[in-house]
Amino acid sequence: MLLPRVRSAARRLGRDLPLACRGCSRHAGAKGLVLGIYSSEKDGGAAQLTSAGDAFDRLVSGRLRELVSICGPPLKKGKTRIFHGLHQDFPSVAVVGLGKKNAGINDQENWNEGKENIRAAVAAGCRQMQDLEIPCVEVDPCGDAQAAAEGAVLGLHEYNELKQKKKPVVTPQLHGRAYARGARVLLASEQTSLLSESRNAESEAWQKGVLYAEGQNLAQYLMEAPANYITPIKFAEHIEQKLRSFGNVKVHIRPESWIVTQQMGAFLSVAKGSAEPPIFLEIHYSGGANASDHPLVFVGKGVTFDSGGISLKPSSGMDAMRADMGGAATVCSAIVTAAALNLPLNIIGLAPLCENMPSGKANKPGDVVRAKNGKTIQVDNTDAEGRLLLADALCYAHSFNARAIVNAATLTGAMDVALGSAATGVFTNSSWLWNHLYEASVVTGDRVWRMPLFQHYTKQVTDSPLADLSNIGKYSRAGGACTAAAFLKEFVTASHWAHLDIAGVMSNKDEVPYLRKGMAGRPTRTLVEFAARLSQDSHNTT
């Protein structure tokens, strides 16, 4: 079971735990309260408060329900309404719309609609409290404490490290402890025991949600930070610092000399254009029962700034290429979260880190480089550099006798064209692996969509006039995400491998309501949920 592990992980993390999972007792000021309300099942019918909402309504002698009914039309999902002065402990109460009560898995949308509704509603309520400068907010679990915690912590996150004027810090906390204690006085001992067990499970689910959300927030932080603040070495040191408190994690920050000895010529060819030296970050998390258990290997593209090299990108929007290390950010953040959750499996994380810059030493279009496995690559476009890093990293990944290899990369603009920000594109040679990724994404709401790995695309990258492979398809932009995946497949012999092209989900405008505008940190929670499910699956076959 994961929940007891979450509790022990929280104790071990101590003062390094995020604000969201500490109590509000240190705040002497007012508290806010976020409560959920369901839409009526019938048109014109009365809306239904959650269990916590009902308890609070009884506490204030029915005034909450009365105010909700007379203060405008029924609340739609994701919308909020603020009430003041209902209770001395909570001067401000936000009621948030959860949509239909029995919303579950939506087969058309490929996610759990109920969980998504909770995340969006709680995020909206917490932001309202932040606008009111209320420092501490208690949050209704809304029937799913993990989803509520994710909505609260993700919804409040914003990168403001470099601004003098910052938004007020808000600490969300699970609501209901005090009312549960009061209820015990009125219940028989057997009922009291059941209530206690329910509250413990709810608290642990909340804490799990906090850890999932903080993992994604870490990825957002790394992706949003300017490229002069997150260089290859600073990225590696930041991750090392996050993992320092865990006794079952080893972090190796491999310098350029090590990369040379590994004969990673493709990776080095990209790095040589920059004054920033490359780093190969290697993380070993030993959570399995045996050190010899086959590990899950995560590989993440870590281009901390991508100018395009000699094939220079347009200046408009180039600043966003500080997030071209999103693959490394998400897989490393997923491992940090797995360690905090104490997941019972072994994970290895690999992140080739460098910049892609134009200079007299940079790759030139038409150059031929040699990858770790001996294959030669004609570099027809220096802006298709991520696949060169991944080629060498994937070769190295095979040295660990992996249970599965999963790589993530902001690899192609073509992926954004194909799917936009709706889902991560997944290319895989394993239906077993795809099923785990898909099922994880339904739970997290951070969706995946399977893409083709046809030989049709392989022929387009293996038909090169000068080398074994070309780093772009011979028909240029046609099927660009697919030809990039076909290129990577040339460096994979493992029977369970998946390539996640996360270019389309790199940033958020307003598509995901519980994320602010900016870099999204997706699909970190899906990777964590995938690892959690894999840790419970003793089989490794389709």
Nearest to 411 by CA among 330, 311, 317, 327: 327
Q: What are residue 106's phi and psi, to 5 degrees?
A: -100, 110
Cβ-Cβ contacts under 8 Å for 480 (sequence gap 6 or more): 412, 413, 414, 415, 472, 473
Residue ranges of alpha helices (H) inside 232-358 are 232-243, 256-261, 265-271, 326-341
Region of 86 on the Ramachandran plot (φ > 0 left; ψ -120 to 50 alpha; else beta): alpha
SS3 category, 449: strand
d(CA 20, CA 259): 39
- Residue 165 is among the residues annotated as catalytic for this protein: no
How many residues are given for the chain? Answer: 542
Question: How many angstroms separate the first and last alpha carbons of the chain?
Answer: 24
Catalytic residue among 254, 387, 489, 525: 387
Q: 81 pairs with which residues across the strands?
A: 95
The β-bridge partners of 87 are 90
Please identify which of the residues 100, 177, 184, 313 carries the catalytic annotation: 313
- If one counts every other C-beta atom within 10 angstroms of the C-beta of residue 139, the result is 30
7 a catalytic residue: no
- Which position has the token pair 């949050």? 139
Question: Residue 426 phi/psi, 5° resolution?
Answer: -120, 125
Cα maximum dimension of the chain = 82
DSSP 290: S
* Phi, psi dihedral angles at 94 (to 5 degrees): -105, 125
Instruction: Measure the CA–CA gap between 231 and 78, rounded to whole angstroms.
Output: 38
Give 52-116 as a 3 state SS string: HHHHHHHHCCCHHHHHHHHCCCCCCCCCEEEEEEEECCEEEEEEEECCCCCCCEECCCCEEHHHH
Enzyme catalytic residues: 313, 387
